[in-house]
Structure 1
């Protein structure tokens, strides 16, 4: 039976997002803690309403953004509610997007490890049906081609991405996502916050598409959409906080 999209409950007053974990809303809230609240779950930064790897990316981006830039992701919080699933494709897509965004700009000391992780993502993506994995293969190829030295190192020492699905889910993908966000956060570029926000936004929408769970503004052509719950008062105000 296909899972239904959970109802989303939005408060009239939204706490200011801050880094780290909080015991309750009075102490503050991070991105995923607010998602747990909106989904009607127990207060937690690891709610069941969101794919674990996507939730990890959201927590890392939340904690890596400066306080002044964190409000830019508030409008994305309702979009992660209900995006989950067990298909390997979701883990591959999330990890590949994070690694590809970081590899070309990350410090050289981090690029080799990122390239090894992307090689693994590329191999797994190439084993997906063509219409599901071709864009991920191209994404990995573009990042690897932009960093030929790291790519060559990964080919020599990365065992060509040969890891088991279990190892990828439990180790490779989470480590790649964490290393990628850290790499972007310390990159010598002028638009680090913008890149972090863009990575989270693009990954949320791509994961929703692959999980057949459309979010507002990102319909899936040719696929039936889950019934949407009427937005409670204050929904659009939450989204408008970053506009």
Structure 2
């Protein structure tokens, strides 16, 4: 996200204004939970997220739903329950925004929940609590759903958690581009190299600062 901020002409930040905050949060957390080799696999997504934003309140619910769906089959029991609650909440938000009955469940989510009946049944205890406004959901609930799901994937025992996180980030970026009809930014080779050099320089300074403190 720091590379994206630089290439977008913003101040250096991992919270760039050019990318939807929830999507940027997914990218930051995936980046932080994978190793250097896997980070090389997500680097090409930098240009894809520049300008990838939306003020549609559906965006947060759609994105959180995709992340929770990825976590549901592999997360430990507590995270699985949270993912199931998150899925049901996302469904309710989308139903309200689209004028459908609140209790309606999309086929994908119904199938996913059917595979984890204990988590599904536990989550049903909470589905009537409500989520407030869609705007509040986007600011507060969606980031919690996303964070818990990503932790669930990263800490899972499936053995390929890094690749799952890489694949998930690729997937949600592609989905988000479809939701927003977004075209990737064109970045020249010189701009890209300058951004990479700047990243390396900052990383070295931060390492030296950390070494002095310890």
- Give me the TM-score of the superposition, normalised by structure 2: 0.80
Quote the Cα distance in structure 2 between the aligned partners of 1:88 and 1:56. Answer: 17
Quote the Cα distance in structure 2 between the aligned partners of 1:100 and 1:161. Answer: 20
Q: Kindly indicate whether residue 80 of structure 2 is the aligned counterpart of residue 111 of structure 1.
A: yes
Q: 1:53-132 residue pairs with structure 2 within 5 A?
A: 53-127=22-96, 129=98
- Does the 8 A contact of 1:53 with 1:174 survive in 2? yes
- Does the 8 A contact of 1:121 with 1:161 survive in 2? no
| Structure 2: stretches of 5+ with no match in the other structure | 100-104, 194-214
Bigger CA drift: 35-44 or 163-172?
163-172
Instruction: Note the C-alpha offset of 1:45.
Output: 0.5
1:19 aligns with none
Quote the Cα distance in structure 2 between the aligned partners of 1:42 and 1:207. Answer: 24
- Does the 8 A contact of 1:121 with 1:140 survive in 2? no
| Structure 1: stretches of 5+ with no match in the other structure | 1-31, 131-135, 216-227, 238-243
* RMSD between superposed Cα atoms in Å: 2.4
1:46 aligns with 15
Q: How many residues matched?
A: 189
Bigger CA drift: 191-200 or 46-55?
191-200
Higher share in helix: 2
2:174 aligns with 205
Deviations 1:2-43 (A, max 9, x none): xxxxxxxxxxxxxxxxxxxxxxxxxxxxxx111101111100
Quote the Cα distance in structure 1 between the aligned partners of 2:28 and 2:9. Answer: 19
2:123 aligns with 154
Instruction: Note the C-alpha offset of 1:112.
Output: 1.3
